[in-house]
């Protein structure tokens, strides 16, 4: 059984600046495998769109998307779709009345796992460093704390596939490595399929089995990570020398770190 199958998919957005169509995918066909898959490419090349299509949250203008052989346009409601696939949006924020510790138990109790593990929630709390925020509400956390909480929710929910759009951008570097290592290993041990996009190419290469590389002028290229994310392919996709891309990534991470520190200083005043 195919995990996700795209058959002759076409999808485009209306360009607000000039009124023309901005084509993301055109007559695109691919069979996407199980495991851990990273999406890499410049902003605006279609990474988020493909994740949303693969999750059944967007429907193609033409063609069909099949998730475990079920056409995405036949899902009757949110619960039916989420048995198969759930989604972490970029920069998710929401407010709750309940405390995070109580929410972790609620999500697990009402999720789709047929068998519950008594040690699962304690393991997630430890690995995702949630101990200090269990008594907080989501709106009382930092961006990094909330991202780690949302990742815990996604794992507790029990969907067979988890789509993650920039799920760790607000974390510090050591935390990013720890979280991605944990996600990669739990995907293997618990047979969870994870598709994610990151700005960090090194982490994408290290913690994935397969890669989708997005270009501005052609359809995404798909295959084993080590064959797709080569220096030559990455330079072509980003239209920039590899050394300059490294500098660009480093500047992006430093800017995020500065913003995170500014947020913490503001919260402390």
CB-based contact 8:30 (threshold 8 Å): no
Q: Which fold has domain 31-48+75-268?
A: Rossmann fold (3.40.50)
pTM of the model: 0.88
Inter-CA distances, 222 with 39, 149, 170, 185, 210, Å: 9, 30, 28, 22, 7
State the first-to-last Cα distance of the chain, in angstroms, to the nearest integer.
Answer: 55
pLDDT at position 13: 83
pLDDT at position 269: 45
Domain boundaries, the chain: 31-48+75-268
Structure tokens, 84: 């198969």
Residue 167 to residue 57: CA distance in whole angstroms: 17
pLDDT at position 263: 55
Which H or E element spans position 138? none
The DSSP secondary-structure symbol of 32 reads E
CB atoms under 10 Å from CB of 101, counted, come to 16
pLDDT in tens, the chain (269 residues): 689 999 999 999 877 566 667 778 999 999 998 999 999 999 889 999 999 999 999 999 999 999 999 999 999 888 899 999 999 998 888 889 999 999 999 999 999 998 999 999 999 999 999 999 999 999 999 999 999 999 999 999 999 999 999 999 999 999 999 999 999 999 999 999 999 999 899 999 999 999 999 999 899 999 999 999 999 999 999 988 776 776 665 665 555 555 555 555 544 44
């Amino acid at each position: 059984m195919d995990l996700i199958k795209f058959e002759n998919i076409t999808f485009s957005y209306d360009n607000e600046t000039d009124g023309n169509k901005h084509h993301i995918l055109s007559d695109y066909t691919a069979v996407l495998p199980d495991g851990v898959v990273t999406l890499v490419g410049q902003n605006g090349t279609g990474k988020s769109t493909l994740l949303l299509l693969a999750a059944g949250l967007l429907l193609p203008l033409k063609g069909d998307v099949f998730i475990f052989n079920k056409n995405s346009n036949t899902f009757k409601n949110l619960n039916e779709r989420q048995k198969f696939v759930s989604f972490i949006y970029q920069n998710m924020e929401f407010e709750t009345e309940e405390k995070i510790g109580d929410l972790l138990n609620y999500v697990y109790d009402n999720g789709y796992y047929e068998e519950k593990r008594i040690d699962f929630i304690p393991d997630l709390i430890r690995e995702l460093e949630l101990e200090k925020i269990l008594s907080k509400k989501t709106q009382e956390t930092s961006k990094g704390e909330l991202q780690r909480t949302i990742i815990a929710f996604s794992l507790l929910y029990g969907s067979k596939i988890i789509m993650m759009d920039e799920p760790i951008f607000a974390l510090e570097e050591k935390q990013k490595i720890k979280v991605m290592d944990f996600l990669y290993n739990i995907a293997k041990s618990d047979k969870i399929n994870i598709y994610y996009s990151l700005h960090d190419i090194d982490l994408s290469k290290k913690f994935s089995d397969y890669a989708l590389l997005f270009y501005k002028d052609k359809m995404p290229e798909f295959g084993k990570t080590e064959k797709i994310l080569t220096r030559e392919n990455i330079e072509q996709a980003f239209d920039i020398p590899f050394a300059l891309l490294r500098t660009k990534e480093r500047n992006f991470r430093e800017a995020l770190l500065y913003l995170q520190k500014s947020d913490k200083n503001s919260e402390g005043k």
